[in-house]
């Protein structure tokens, strides 16, 4: 393990690569990264990278976003199969048919798309949002237009609650956040009565309504960082997030909110990236995200939404 970590550090130098890692990666990968972050921070960091190679330790749509913002760079994803249930729930052809049907029915709308989507879906959108900027972007959509929000129905419902904007919601969900068990959360709350519950907005309403704070991963860190004295936090998001919380704010105690089927709530897609695969992609220069024709239009939408 130590050898493998040293090997990756050496290869990173030799290949002149920058390693970006999402907070849902295993702690040993986050530790090796030049930058860690939520989807918004990583998309922004990707535009500042100086090296010719980016290794994106996250899932496919994140690496794709980094590539569209850096056409001239080599963007490597340790495992090309690292997908996302939200992105899979919304194929571009299906979205296009739905948009056409709405237009034929005389509906005037803008499409607001969660970043957890393919480049082809982003290219069909007016806006791209992350958990970090969604509220702000929703407020930018003219009041005389409806909002078609894709693909996360829970995030969409949450945004309706906080902005008052009704939305047409796509029926997608995150397989990790959707399976938190409200019964087990209430049991945990009884076991840790002073515990403060933090939940990701990808969680269903029954989890959010029992939470003290709802926000994306970066917002969670900011919230937790606001408590100087030791607290107990009940965490309703992907389990690796607790590594970053522990790393930044070791004075607190963290308790995972259990899921219906398991206690750890690990994203199986994020888990595809291992140290061995990080080493191999640096060594062989693949798997690589190749430029696709739809990236050009998707890039315009992403730039307008996330970088301006």
Q: Can you tell me which of 267, 278, 302, 306 binds ligand SF4, judged by CB under 6 A?
A: 267
Q: Can you tell me which of 54, 159, 169, 176 binds ligand SF4, judged by CB under 6 A?
A: 176
Return the biggest CA–CA distance within the chain.
62
**Do residues 288 and 60 lie in contact, with contact meaning Cβ atoms separated by under 8 Å?**
no
**Of the candidates 210, 211, 207, 254, the residue with the CA atom closest to the CA atom of residue 233:** 254
Please state the closest distance from residue 30 (CB atom) to ligand SF4, in A.
Answer: 15
Residues within window 121-150 making contact with ligand SF4, judged by CB under 6 A:
none
Please state the closest distance from residue 131 (CB atom) to ligand SF4, in A.
Answer: 10
Please provide the distance, in angstroms rounded to a whole number, between the alpha carbons at the two ends of the chain: 41
Q: Which is nearer to ligand 13P, 12 or 63 (CB)?
A: 63
Does position 241 interact with ligand SF4 (CB under 6 A)? The reply is: no
Choose from ligand SF4, ligand 13P, none: what does 39 bind? Cβ within 5-8 Å by kind: ligand 13P
Does position 39 interact with ligand 13P (CB under 6 A)? The reply is: yes
Does position 70 interact with ligand SF4 (CB under 6 A)? The reply is: no
Residues within window 154-193 making contact with ligand 13P, judged by CB under 6 A:
174
Please state the closest distance from residue 201 (CB atom) to ligand 13P, in A.
Answer: 8
Burial state string for 250-260 with b = 16 or more CB within 10 A and e = fewer than 16:
eebebbbbbbe
**Do residues 74 and 54 lie in contact, with contact meaning Cβ atoms separated by under 8 Å?**
yes
Q: Which DSSP letter does residue 307 get?
A: I
Please state the closest distance from residue 18 (CB atom) to ligand SF4, in A.
Answer: 21
**Residue 116, phi-psi category: left (phi > 0), alpha (psi -120 to 50), beta (remainder):** beta
Does position 86 interact with ligand SF4 (CB under 6 A)? The reply is: yes
Choose from ligand 13P, ligand SF4, none: what does 239 bind? Cβ within 5-8 Å by kind: none
**Of the candidates 206, 208, 209, 233, the residue with the CA atom closest to the CA atom of residue 221:** 233
Size of site (CB under 6 A) for ligand 13P: 12
Per-residue DSSP letters for 17-43?
Answer: EEEEEETTS-HHHHHH-SEEE-HHHHH
Binding site for ligand SF4 (CB under 6 A): 24, 59, 84-86, 116, 174-176, 202, 238, 267, 269-270
């Amino acid at each position: 393990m130590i050898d493998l970590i040293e090997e990756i550090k050496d290869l990173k130098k030799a290949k002149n690569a920058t390693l970006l890692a999402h907070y849902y990666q295993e702690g040993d990968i986050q530790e090796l990264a030049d930058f860690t972050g939520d989807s918004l921070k990583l998309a922004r960091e990707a535009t500042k990278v100086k090296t010719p190679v980016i290794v994106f330790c996250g899932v496919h749509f994140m690496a794709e976003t980094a590539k569209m913002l850096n056409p001239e760079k080599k963007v490597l994803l340790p495992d090309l199969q690292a997908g996302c249930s939200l992105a899979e729930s919304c194929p571009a052809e299906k979205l296009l048919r739905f948009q056409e049907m709405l237009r034929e029915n005389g509906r005037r709308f803008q499409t607001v798309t969660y970043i957890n989507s393919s480049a082809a879906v982003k290219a069909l959108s007016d806006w791209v949002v992350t958990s970090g900027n969604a509220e702000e972007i929703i407020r930018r959509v003219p009041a005389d237009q409806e909002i078609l929000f894709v693909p996360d129905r829970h995030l969409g419902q949450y945004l309706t609650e906080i902005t008052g904007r009704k939305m047409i919601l796509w029926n997608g969900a995150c397989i990790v956040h959707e399976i938190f068990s409200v019964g087990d959360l209430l049991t945990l709350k009884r076991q840790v009565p002073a515990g403060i519950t933090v939940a990701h907005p990808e969680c269903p309403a029954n989890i959010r309504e029992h939470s003290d704070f709802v926000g994306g991963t970066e917002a969670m860190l900011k919230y937790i960082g606001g408590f100087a004295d030791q607290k107990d936090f009940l965490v309703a998001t992907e389990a690796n997030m607790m590594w970053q919380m522990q790393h930044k704010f070791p004075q607190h105690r963290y308790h995972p909110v259990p899921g219906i089927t398991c206690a750890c709530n690990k994203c199986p897609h994020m888990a595809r990236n291992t140290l061995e695969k990080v080493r191999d992609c640096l060594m062989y220069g693949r798997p690589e995200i190749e430029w696709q024709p739809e990236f050009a239009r998707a890039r315009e939408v992403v730039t307008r939404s996330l970088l301006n």
